[in-house]
Amino acid sequence: MTDYSNYTKEDYLKLYDKPLDELIKISHEITEDNFDNTVEACSIISAKTGECGENCKYCAQSKHNHANIECHPLMDTETVKKAAISAKENGATRFCIVTSGRVPDKNDFEKIIEMIKAVASIDGLHCCASLGLLSEEQIKRIKEAGVERYNHNINTSPNYHKNICTTHNFDDRVKTVELIKKHGIEACTGVIIGMGETREDRIDMALELKKINPKTVPINFLNPIKGTALENYENKINEEEILKTICIFRVILPKALLRYAGGRTTRLSKENQQRGIEAGINSLLVGNYLTTTGSKPEEDKKILEKEGLKLSV
């Protein structure tokens, strides 16, 4: 098999130009060489929704945008625990507590610690969290409470980041991930594609992730939401380009779990969702997402069965 580890950015661009079927064959072989036939399933809950002060152009929860969503303050621990139990019953082995905002305030953070402990106590379910740009002390606290993996995406490339958000920079995101790993928490760090970035930007994203070396890489596809600054970006990327990008990410990140995350049910047909799994997707975000509707567990299981795969337990 070809060794792609020393490829340059220009080499990856040439790889992008290969026919889709050939690219899928390459990435499928890489996946088979590094993984078994199980697919990880993760479910999330938006424990606090909306009123975020960051100005990310894609986000329905930003106060700088005007999306029509239902905002709510931090949920109570019992509600979150019940949702986690339900997620487990539907096949999830991981459950992620997600809150909007740059960082939780002191009162919310103490309540979140109790949520983490409650979810971590559920047998057979791994607790994850996505709580923004945490300090080192806060990271120590969530680790002690039971968080095993932390989601903090780079979202886009270093060069394109200023076109998407200006209230924090790319380095802020990377620093948070480095702190997470420093304290023994696995990194779940991914991207959003289809925000107007180029192929070069997408390769840069994958190369930055290669440096970070996260356990899981969620690949989100922009779902343009009315009221956000990117509401008219429906045609910035097509299904073939999405599939090629999945392949390129697998080539550059042969040992990372590549996760279908937000946007896949609206930006990919069922046939192409299956082709993405053939190409190397081996982790799924199941159930609903933060402010949009996701897939039904039984539909995902049918897709996996067609590829001879099964959910991990």
Cα distance between residue 186 and residue 128, in whole Å: 9
Cα distance between residue 230 and residue 228, in whole Å: 5
96 in active site:
yes
Residue 212 near residue 177, CB atoms below 8 Å: yes
Catalytic residue among 127, 128, 165, 247: 128
Catalytic residue among 96, 127, 165, 247: 96
Catalytic residue among 42, 59, 127, 165: 59
Q: Report, in angstroms and rounded to the nearest whole number, the Rg of the chain calculated over CA atoms.
A: 18
42 in active site:
no
Cα distance between residue 303 and residue 308, in whole Å: 9
59 in active site:
yes
127 in active site:
no
What is 98-154 written as a DSSP string? EE-SSS--HHHHHHHHHHHHHHHTSTT-EEEEE-SS--HHHHHHHHHHT--EEE---
Q: Write out the two tokens for 253.
A: 């990140």
Catalytic residue among 42, 52, 165, 247: 52
Catalytic residue among 56, 127, 165, 247: 56
**Strands, DSSP E only, in the chain?**
38-48, 94-99, 126-130, 149-151, 186-188, 191-193, 216-221, 257-260, 281-285, 310-311
Contacts of 270 (CB under 8 A, 6+ apart): 299, 303
Q: Hey, is 90 helix, strand or coil?
A: coil
- The residue assigned the tokens 């996260």 is 214
259 in active site:
yes
52 in active site:
yes
Catalytic residue among 250, 259, 264, 275: 259
264 in active site:
no
Known catalytic residues are 52, 56, 59, 96, 128, 188, 259
